[in-house]
Structure 1
Amino acid sequence: MRLEVVLQIKRVVVGVLAAGALSACGAEEDAAPVTVTQTQTQTSYVEAAPVAPAGPDASAPGAPAPTAAAESWTMPNLIGRNLQAAQDAIQELTDYKISFSTSTDLTGEGRAQMMDRNWQVCSSTPAPGEPLTVGTPVDFGVVRIDVESCP
């Protein structure tokens, strides 16, 4: 729409300038005045409201939309694996719907697990066999591999 208006305005301006230039080129003083007419076209679009499907499967007006069932998995037993392998297993099981988990240093020293492959999983929340959903926080209790034993 804007492009059409701009092009029309350009045409009018060019016409007016051309008429002015020609009239300044030694025309007689009694020359008739030039009349320029400008036409502007405007296009507007209206977005249609969604149409409810017809037929026996259509829901009644005002009825709530059906919700998808929440996905659920069973927490696998990841005790004894390194932390990175445990995290990878959760992501693979849930098709990356759960891509974040936390880990806790079980020695009580509060150390951060910077290199996940250097830590062994001793416990998990939720426990193995318990339900696991997208909203379930996953935490692994860990100790250093080959240096410490699970409590």
Structure 2
Amino acid sequence: MPNVVGLNHQLAQDTMQAAGFYYLTEQDATGQGRLLINDRNWVVVTQEPKGGTRVPTDTKIVLRSKKIGE
């Protein structure tokens, strides 16, 4: 499992997919329920499972992001 915390959301998704992980979900880390429309304007602040964890590639990945600058 790649560690994508700190990456912009688009690069994080690309990194996960390059590693074979396609079951990706996303959430607004602020709890406001906003949709991540332009992924490059968001930065990943947490991920589940955590980076470095060994998990099957069909594991559900949750990326929680907030807008850059928040």
TM-score normalised by L of structure 1: 0.44
Is the Cα contact below 8 Å between 2:9 and 2:40 reproduced in 1?
A: yes
Q: Secondary structure at the match of 2:43?
A: strand
Aligned residue number for residue 91 of structure 1: 17
> What amino acid is the match of 1:104?
Q
Which segments of 5 or more consecutive residues in structure 1 lack a partner in the other structure? 1-74
The structure with the largest helix share of the pair is: 1
> What amino acid is the match of 1:139?
V
Q: Secondary structure at the match of 1:131?
A: coil
Matching of residue 132 in structure 1 with residue 58 in structure 2: no
Question: What count of residue pairs does the alignment treat as equivalent?
Answer: 70
Measure, in 1, the Cα distance between the counterparts of 2:25 and 2:47: 10
RMSD (CA atoms): 1.1
Larger RCO (CA under 8 A, 6+ residues apart): 2
**Percent same amino acid among aligned pairs?**
37
The structure with the largest strand share of the pair is: 2
Aligned residue number for residue 27 of structure 2: 104
Q: Secondary structure at the match of 2:2?
A: coil
Q: Secondary structure at the match of 1:84?
A: helix
Q: Secondary structure at the match of 1:85?
A: helix
Which segments of 5 or more consecutive residues in structure 2 lack a partner in the other structure? none
Measure, in 2, the Cα distance between the counterparts of 1:142 and 1:133: 23
TM-score normalised by L of structure 2: 0.90
Deviation at 1:126, TM superposition (A): 0.6
Q: 1:13-65: per-residue Cα shift (whole Å, max 9, x none)?
A: xxxxxxxxxxxxxxxxxxxxxxxxxxxxxxxxxxxxxxxxxxxxxxxxxxxxx
Deviation at 1:77, TM superposition (A): 1.4
4+ aligned runs moved over 6 Å, structure 1: none
Rg: which structure is higher?
Answer: 1
